Amino acid sequence: MRVIDSHTGGMPTRVILDGVPDLGTGTLAEQARRLATEHERFYKSVLLEPRGQPGMVGALLVKPVSPECAAGVIYFDADAVLGMCGHGTIGLAVTLAHLGRIKPGCHKIETPVGVVEVDLKDDGTVTVTNVESRRVCKDATIEVDGLGTVTGDVAYGGNWFFIVDPSPIPVTASNIRRLTDAAIAVRSAANAAGIGGEGGEPIDHVIFQGPSDDAAVHSRNFVLCPDDTYDRSPCGTGSSARLACLAAGGRLEPGEEIIQESVIGSPYHLSYQPGPNGGVIPAISGRAYVIAECTLRFGALDPFRDGIKP
C-alpha cells in the first residue's frame, strides 16, 4: 500500500494512494459507512502502531461522485471513520500538489459530509472553506466525575463537539495528560446525558478553550479526538465549530480574522461568512509539510499485521 505522510501544525495525515478495499458505489457518505462497518480491521491496521502513530489521521483517496471535484476523500483515525477533517484536508491539498495532481489555486474536494474548497497558495499555505457549521446548544450543563459541574456549547463543524470555555484546567503543553483525562470524562458524561446533535448524534470531540500568552492570538485550545489522543493542530473542524459559537454569541463579526492556537502553539487563521441555513461558512488557513513517502507491507506471518491494539 503506497502512502504519503504529512503534518499540519504537528498533526500527522497519511494519504492512502492504493491497496484499499472495495467500498462499492453510491455517495461518499455511503462508502464511508461501509468502511466503518465492513473494513474496521483495514483502517485500524493503517494507523495503529507499529505502522502508524498516536494522533495520525488517514485520508483514503476515492473517486469523487461530483465531477467538479479534484478528489474524493474519506477520513478516519484509529478509532472511527470521520465526517470531515480540517488538518487532513490541508495535508491532502499539499500532498496532491506534491504529486502534481493540483496546482496553486482553488479546488473542490468531496467528503462524506459535503464538498469543501481548498485554496492552495504558492508558498504552501492552504485555506479550507468548510461545510456550514452551527451551534446546536448553548450552555449545556453536565456533571463530570473529578470536575464537578461543567458547562459547554454543542456545535457541529463536520464532526460533533462539546466546547468548554474557559477550560477547567490551564491549556498548556505541560497539562496534556490532565487535559486528556478530563476531556475523556467530559465526553463520556455528555454522551451519557444524551447531549449531542439534533438527530441524536453523539459527541466525538471535546474542546477546552483558554487564553494565549501571545496578545496577537485570540485563544489557545486543547482538542480531544475520538481515539482519545489530542490534536496537535488547532483542529479544523473544531475551529469551525468554535467560529459558529463565536458568531452565534455575537463575539466575532463576518470576515473578521483571528488566530487560533493549539495546545502546542501551532496556529490557524480563522474567519467566517454567514451560511445559507443560519450557520457559518468557516475559512481555516494553515500550513502542511510532506514528511514521508513509503510502501506499507502487511506480511501474513507478522503478529502485528493488524496493528497493536490499545
Q: What domains can you pick out in the chain, each with its CATH number?
A: 2-130+290-295 (3.10.310.10), 134-274 (3.10.310.10)
Q: Average pLDDT for residues 1-9, to the nearest whole number?
A: 97
Q: How high is the pLDDT of residue 310?
A: 78
- Give catalytic status of residue 245 as yes or no: no
pLDDT digits (tens, 9 = 90+) for 161-175: 999 999 999 999 999
Distance CA 207, CA 159 (A): 12
Q: What percent of the chain has pLDDT over 90?
A: 98
The predicted structure's pLDDT at residue 183: 98
Is 235 labeled as catalytic in the residue annotation?
yes
The yes-or-no verdict on residue 288 having pLDDT over 90 is yes
Nearest by Cα to 13 from 79, 87, 72: 87
Q: Which amino acid is at 163?
A: I
Question: Residue 233 has what pLDDT?
Answer: 98
The pairing of beta strand 258-262 with beta strand 219-224: parallel
**DSSP class per residue in the chain:** -EEEEEEETTEEEEEE-S------SS-HHHHHHHHHHH-HHHHHHHHSTTTS-TT-EEEEEE--SSTT-SEEEEEE-SS-EES--HHHHHHHHHHHHHTTS--SEEEEEEETTEEEEEEE-TTSEEEEE---BEEEEEEEEEEETTTEEEEEEEEESSSEEEEESS-SS---GGGHHHHHHHHHHHHHHHHHTT-B-TT-PBP-EEEEEE--SSTT--EEEEEE-TTSPBPSS--HHHHHHHHHHHHHTT-S-TT--EEEEETTS-EEEEEEEE-TTSSEEEEEEEEEEEEEEEE----TT-TTTT----
- Single out the catalytic residue among 69, 225, 235, 245: 235
Which is the catalytic residue, given 69, 85, 225, 245? 85
Give per-residue pLDDT as tens, 43-88: 999 999 999 998 999 999 999 999 999 999 999 999 999 999 999 9
